A and B are shown apart, each in its own frame.
Chain A
Amino acid sequence: MGLMHKLPPIVDPLPGGKTMIDAVSYIINWARSNSIWPLTYGTSCCAIEMMAAAAPRYDISRFGSEVFRASPRQCDLIILAGTITEKMAGPLKTLYDQMSGPKYVIAMGACTISGGPFYYDNYSVVKGADRILPVDVYIPGCPPRPEALFNGLLMLQEKIRKTESLRNTWHEHEIYTKPATNTWSDAAKAWDALEKIKDQEQAEARAKFKEENPDYQAFKAVRVVAPAFPEVPRKPDRPRGKSNLELWKLIQAKFPGLKLYKKELGDHEVSDTAAVEALGTDYTLDFEVPVDQYVALATFLKQTPDLSLEMLLDLTAVDFTDHFDVVVQLLSVTQGQKVFFRVSLPKKEVSPEEAPTAILASVPTLSGLWPAANWKEREVYDMFGIDFTGHPDMRRLFMEDDFVGYPLRKDFVNPNIIKRPY
């Protein structure tokens, strides 16, 4: 539009020139507002509602925006559907820069307005899309319904028709050149003024009503009795495969030194066999293993035909402030039994300054036995800073490589975290 914007200074001084420019502007804006092409960009839940808006029931093509383009170079509008994380902020900024102007941004959903459900106690979510992009229209909701998206789209069309002109190139230079105004306090003041007027009007109306109806008695609310719900005892699980006791005896025969992890029983001293019986079928067998027997036990569990725990369902870790527990869950898809086992890793002694960024424990890898362990161990390394010796590709999985600290540790601090004030 560069050429068009050079027209006003030339044509305006001519007789009737201003009217002509206005007419041309009007036609251009009318056309532009009725053919907004959005980018197929969506990160999470809101994207599904955006797709639903394009689907037959709601049909976004009624508003001229059915042409979803996959390339930012062909788009006028980016609908920010879904949470924006710190890692995604960079690529998103690039996408926006690649779009050709005039370009518009709709912030769809609570996450892009303010961080939404991820505002407090969160280290990775950008708390509001307007921190990185100039947002034109905000649509609240989690996720907003397609009707709400249409409302936002119509609002954007109205905005284009009313504010864009050949003289006012408010979208030409894009990203903010002046600081954002404090819209919140302005809105609050306007709201207060409105409330005062409303209160006054209501008081007058009430007084008038009392004068006219002196016998009127207000309706008294009746208390609704809440339904009484019964206390239902839980029925125990009916697991298939070998029972806990059978499994425990098989494992004990090979590894006699193992101990059951039985926090559920409290401090009572009971023998392991008795404990397995007491815990019942709701309990999945869970035992501790020393570090030196860790891989040997895993191999035994996988390769013994009686156990055949051939699937690694999960591998995770827990930070108990003084030590880590790496918890592994195995499942037998052929027989049905499942077990947990855990290895307790004491934290290394380091100075308090280094502790948040240092790797505090290490354990042999299981990725040779199960390829599934490959990513799971990377996740644990990323979140806890536990090193898996012998792992073929030990990198962070979720966070960027230069991210400082290990988020799921209890002593983790991050400047992005906003603590809940209550």
Chain B
Amino acid sequence: MEMVKRPLPAGFQKVSGDDNTEEYFINMGPQHPATHGVLRLVLRLDGETVRECVPHLGYIHRGIEKQAESETYLQYVHLTDRMDYLTSHMNNHSVCMAIEKAVGIGVPDRAEYIRVMVLELNRISSHLMMFGCFGGDLGAQTALLYGFKEREVITDIFDELCGARLTMNYFRPGGVANDIPDTFIARVKKVIVDVERTLEEFDRLITGNVIIQERSRGIGILTREDAIAYGCTGCVLRASGVPYDLRKDDPYSIYDRLDFDVPTKQNGDSFDRYVIHIDEIRQSIRILQQCIEQIPEGPYRSKEKPSYRLPAGSYYAATETAKGIFGTYVVAEKGDKPWRIHSRSPNFANLSPIGKMVKGHMIADVVTVITTLDILIPDIDR
């Protein structure tokens, strides 16, 4: 019987190879619980081994950059909430910094401290989420519950602070929307105690777990050269041995006044990428402790305008979010609306080496790689 030759799926190159084994293609996603949204991976499999992996994006492409062109600068801030919703404060911060840079307004000291405290809380909450998903995707559903339990405490703080649990829209050019409530500091102190206790639990539950280590050590190795060549940032880059953190290397806000370390790992495998998140939570706690001691009295916002008109030109501001470098590139012409806004999303670059990373691994390891890259599809597609 003659074999029916089907056309190759999009993105695959034809290989002349071994005729003894039969390769086949499988669709992972767009609806898949472990792809953190609606990522679609087409895998070329040989048995259970992944020979090639081609990601397809755009299932949650909402055209935010086009929509931004018909909204004012302040209105754009709330759209960035919906890109990477786990780090929405940090995205807002990046847009606000770009506007501040263009218009030349500064931020009062108290506002800077409020910002940094909120940012670090946001970082912890995002990393806790990563911890939960890491456990959950590897089959340890308990970890998901542990991660969420602590995350809710931080979400409560945000709830009291700005009335939202996820899409905060709290930052404004020149400060923050409103002063912190009286209970804020006390609550942060409680979070510090709680999270420190939880981290010990995490170590006993997941980090030291034999099954987790077996499934993540040596899986999806990203070398230092590849990490740089693919433009990976954040934890992914630092797990591969590059100690680059915008907070240290190009300090914005008041990060240069604070004492903290940049955790770095050398192997670049899935386990390192996971451990570095836990280490970063510890550093964030250190930053929070210093902020609680140092926070001054004073105004929480500098003079605000109802709308901003940026002078013609192009402006760029970047923040180190929990995922990597989030940059906002604004091209301003006349008027109160941007000519073009582009967001440099960290997840986009962090996902791009996945084809290289999963090659030769088992199909179950694809899930490990995705979850330790800590990606979020709505931020990639925008």
Contact = CB atoms under 8 A, between A and B. Distances in A.
B144 interface: yes
A233 B105 CA distance: 5
Contacts of B304: 229
Interface in B103-136: 104-108, 129
A45 B378 contact: yes
B90 to A, nearest CB: 15
Contacts of B31: 41, 72, 91-92, 95
B349 A372 contact: yes
Given A123-B66, A327-B329, A407-B63, A51 B148 contact: yes
A313 B312 contact: no
A263 B314 contact: yes
A94 to B, nearest CB: 9
Nearest to A310: B228
Interface string B53-87: 00001111111111101110000001101100110
Chain A CB within 10 A, most for which of B60, B226, B311: B60
Interface in A38-85: 40-45, 47-49, 51-52, 55-57, 68, 70, 72, 82-83, 85
Contact of B70 (A56, A233, A420): A420
B378 A43 contact: yes
Given A43-B60, A85-B62, A122 B106 contact: no
Nearest to B82: A45
A51 B136 CA distance: 12
User: What's the interface size class on A, roughly?
Assistant: 35 or more
A78 to B, nearest CB: 10
A340 interface: yes
B37 A56 contact: no
Interface stretch (B14-22, B213-221, B274-282, B336-344): B336-344
Interface stretch (B194-202, B229-237, B366-374): B229-237
Query: Which interface residue of B100, B104, B331 has the most chain A CB atoms within 10 A?
Result: B331
A375 B228 contact: no
A83 B250 contact: no
A393 B228 contact: no
A87 interface: yes
A56 B149 contact: yes
A170 interface: no
Contacts of A40: 33
Interface residues of B, number: 87
A395 interface: yes
Indicate the member of B104, B105, B148 with the most A CB atoms within 10 Å: B148
A30 interface: no
Interface string B160-198: 000001110000001100000000000000000000000
A407 B66 contact: yes
B152 A52 contact: yes
B353 interface: yes
Given A117-B78, A229-B174, 18 more contacts: A43-B378, A45-B85, A48-B129, A55-B145, A55-B152, A57-B148, A83-B62, A88-B59, A118-B67, A121-B67, A143-B166, A238-B256, A371-B229, A372-B231, A372-B352, A395-B10, A398-B61, A408-B340
30 contacts: A43-B59, A44-B37, A55-B148, A55-B152, A57-B149, A57-B152, A85-B61, A87-B61, A123-B63, A123-B66, A145-B165, A232-B105, A232-B108, A234-B101, A237-B250, A238-B251, A264-B312, A286-B314, A313-B231, A314-B231, A314-B327, A333-B244, A336-B249, A370-B229, A370-B230, A371-B229, A371-B230, A383-B65, A399-B61, A408-B340
Interface of B: 10-11, 30-33, 37-38, 57-67, 69-71, 78-79, 81-82, 85-86, 100-101, 104-108, 129, 144-145, 148-149, 151-152, 155, 165-167, 174-175, 226, 228-231, 233, 237, 242, 244, 249-252, 256, 299, 301-304, 311-314, 316, 325, 327, 329, 331, 339-340, 342, 344, 348-349, 352-353, 377-378, 381
